[in-house]
């Protein structure tokens, strides 16, 4: 009986996968490498090991490399319309049996997060000599710090609670790198202390031909949480925070057309699945919390309406299209830091009024609240979707009606869906209030009549 070989389209090349090539069928594979003359992946491992004070346990390094490979593959395979992508990866791990047992959960988690089909074929590398053991050594938390408004408000939240913490960042590009650095420097001045901050440059290696083809990067939170988990697992820290307002964390599709455009980077179900993955692999039950899940964007960033923090608002970056602004449209990002028409930009802009931070905001290329005829079509589309969504919610006479119309409010069994509905309603009221007070007459006529 002839058994067909598994088909793969990504090869993470090393001495172990080279020996296993005959076990798989490859069709024009994307070839990645962490080592040698063909190295095109940079996991910044020396910086990490210097920061944690020891070499990473091989199983922890496996998790990190898997997350980085997933992230890079996410940028290299173009997403055509709404069709899910099939990405099958052959790579080496230190404990094949352990990873084969976790494989189904890993693939299901990534399918939920990205909407794509990720398949992993693990090859045994150098075997682990000592099993991993987790012990809590440090009484502090780890906070993911992106350089956006929500993560800055998260620092304020931690400071207000007098909770000791360290920051972990991942810069997607040079401007974000510098923005994170400036914000941390300013925070150090405000708090009169040197913040513990680790900025890890996990990415495709420059000059090796891996130019990003897909900008959605739906898998990025898998990498970000893994960066935090490396420090948690290695230094014995139990608590991890990521900070994302409920509007973007829950990411209810405004219309059926947006279902496949929405990401789940901070969705509570993804966080739960990630915690379960880490527990199954390492026997460590990390707590990963998003304190802002039941808060609107305006309610989150209102925390920054105070001396010292108010002046940092304009430095932060929220735009999901910042790479396109710089490299395609040639915008000087020192002057204009937001496109103004992507969904995160619009949510940010429409939240500034209620947060009392309107005059402290950064500059946008497009004015989403200006003359309606001058707003680009992509911005108009999102504005119409928001208002259509608002009218649909208002037309529902009960919570049951809303849950039938939008089952996505059942985010996770640990979260009360009615609280998420109320958060969404508050957000929509804040949006309307901003349009009424800040929008042009032509905009109000188009959206509110």
Mean pLDDT of 246-263: 64
121 pLDDT band (50/70/90 cuts)? very high
Q: How far apart are CA 295 and CA 120, in angstroms?
A: 37
Burial state string for 424-434 with b = 16 or more CB within 10 A and e = fewer than 16: bebbbebbbeb
Which residue, 78, 97, 124, sits at the end of a domain? 124
205 pLDDT band (50/70/90 cuts)? confident
Distance of CA 218 to the CA centre of its chain: 7
Residue 326 lies in a domain: no
Q: What is the structure's pLDDT at 323? A: 73
> 255 pLDDT exceeds 60?
no
Query: Where a domain ends, among 59, 93, 124?
Result: 124
Task: Output the pLDDT for position 197.
Answer: 96
Let me know if residue 274 belongs to a domain: no
| Range name among 17-31, 62-76, 210-224, 308-322 with the lowest pLDDT average | 210-224
Between these two residues, 207 and 375, which has the higher pLDDT value? 375
Q: Considering the domain boundaries, does residue 103 fall inside one?
A: yes
Burial 287-298 (b: 16+ CB within 10 A, else e): ebebbbbbbbbb
Among candidate residues 100, 124, 148, the one where a domain is terminated: 124
Q: How many domains does the chain have?
A: 2
pLDDT value at residue 260: 46
With a cut of 80, say whether residue 258 has pLDDT above it.
no
Task: State percent of the chain over pLDDT 70.
Answer: 92
Whether 317 has a pLDDT exceeding 50, the answer reads yes
Q: Residue 119 has which token pair?
A: 């398949």
Whether 306 maps to a domain, the answer reads no
**Is position 261 within any domain?**
no
- Across the chain, mean pLDDT equals 91
- The answer to whether the Cα torsion of 393, 397, 400, 401 is positive or negative is negative
**pLDDT at residue 47 above 70?**
yes
Mean pLDDT on 205-225 = 77
* Cα dihedral 111→414→393→298 (10° resolution): -90
Tell me the average pLDDT across 308-326: 87
Stronger pLDDT, 77 or 379, i.e. the higher one: 379
Assigned domain for 316 exists = no
Model confidence at 254: pLDDT above 80: no
Q: Which domain range does residue 20 map to? A: 7-124
Residue 254 lies in a domain: no
Q: Where do we find the tokens 């900070």?
A: 243
206 or 30, greater pLDDT? 30
**Most confidently modeled range among 35-44, 124-133, 331-340, 372-381:** 372-381
Q: What is the pTM of this model?
A: 0.92
CB burial string 180-200: b at 16+ within 10 A, e below: beebbebbeebeeeebebbbb
pLDDT at 2 over 80: no
The reply to whether 446 falls in a domain is: yes
Interval 124-170: pLDDT, tens: 999 888 899 999 999 999 999 999 999 999 999 999 999 999 999 99
Task: Tell me the average pLDDT across 398-419.
Answer: 89
The whole-number pLDDT of residue 256 equals 47
Contact 168, 141 (CB under 8 A): no
Residue 259 has pLDDT above 70, yes or no: no
Band (pLDDT 50/70/90 cuts) for residue 174 is: low
Q: What's the whole-number mean pLDDT along residues 417-426? A: 94
Checking if the pLDDT of 313 tops 90, the result is yes
Backbone angles phi, psi at 20, to 5 degrees: -100, 5
């Amino acid at each position: 009986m002839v058994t067909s070989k598994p088909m793969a389209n990504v090869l993470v090349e090393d001495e172990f996968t080279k020996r296993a090539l005959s076990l798989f069928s490859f069709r024009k594979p994307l070839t990645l490498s962490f080592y040698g003359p063909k190295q095109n992946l940079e996991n910044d491992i020396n910086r990490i090991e210097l920061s944690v004070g020891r070499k990473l346990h091989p199983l922890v390094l496996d998790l990190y490399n898997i997350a980085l490979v997933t992230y890079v593959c996410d940028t290299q395979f173009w997403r055509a319309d709404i069709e899910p992508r099939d990405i099958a990866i052959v790579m080496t791990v230190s404990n094949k049996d352990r990873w084969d047992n976790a494989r189904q959960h890993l693939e299901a988690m990534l399918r939920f997060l990205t909407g794509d089909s990720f398949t992993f074929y693990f090859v045994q590398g150098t075997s682990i000599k000592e099993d991993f053991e987790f012990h809590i050594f440090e009484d502090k938390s780890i906070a993911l710090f992106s350089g956006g408004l929500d993560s800055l408000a998260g620092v304020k939240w931690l400071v207000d609670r007098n909770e000791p913490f360290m920051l972990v960042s991942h810069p997607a590009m040079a401007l974000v790198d510098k923005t994170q650095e400036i914000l941390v420097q300013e925070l150090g001045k405000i708090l009169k202390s040197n913040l513990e901050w680790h900025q890890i440059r996990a990415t495709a290696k420059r000059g090796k031909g891996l130019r990003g083809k897909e900008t959605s990067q739906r898998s990025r939170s898998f990498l970000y949480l893994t960066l935090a988990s490396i420090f948690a697992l290695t230094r014995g820290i139990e608590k991890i925070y990521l900070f994302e307002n409920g509007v973007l964390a829950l990411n209810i599709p405004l219309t059926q057309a947006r279902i496949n455009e929405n990401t789940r980077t901070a969705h509570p179900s993804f966080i739960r699945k990630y915690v379960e993955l880490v527990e199954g692999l390492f026997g460590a039950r990390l707590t990963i919390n998003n304190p802002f899940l039941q808060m609107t964007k305006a309610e989150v960033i209102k925390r920054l309406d105070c001396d010292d923090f108010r002046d940092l608002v304009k430095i932060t970056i929220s735009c999901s299209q910042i790479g396109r602004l710089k490299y395609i449209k040639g915008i000087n990002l020192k002057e204009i830091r937001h496109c103004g028409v992507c969904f995160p930009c619009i949510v940010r802009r429409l939240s500034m009024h209620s947060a009392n931070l309107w005059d402290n905001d950064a500059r946008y290329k497009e004015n989403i609240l200006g003359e309606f005829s001058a707003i680009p079509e992509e911005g108009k589309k999102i504005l119409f979707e928001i208002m259509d969504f608002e009218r649909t919610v208002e037309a529902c006479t009960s919570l049951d009606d809303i849950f039938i119309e939008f089952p996505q409010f059942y985010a996770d069994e640990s979260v009360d869906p009615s609280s998420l509905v109320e958060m969404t309603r508050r957000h929509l009221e804040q949006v309307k209030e901003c349009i009424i007070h800040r929008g042009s007459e032509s905009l109000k006529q188009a959206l509110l009549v």
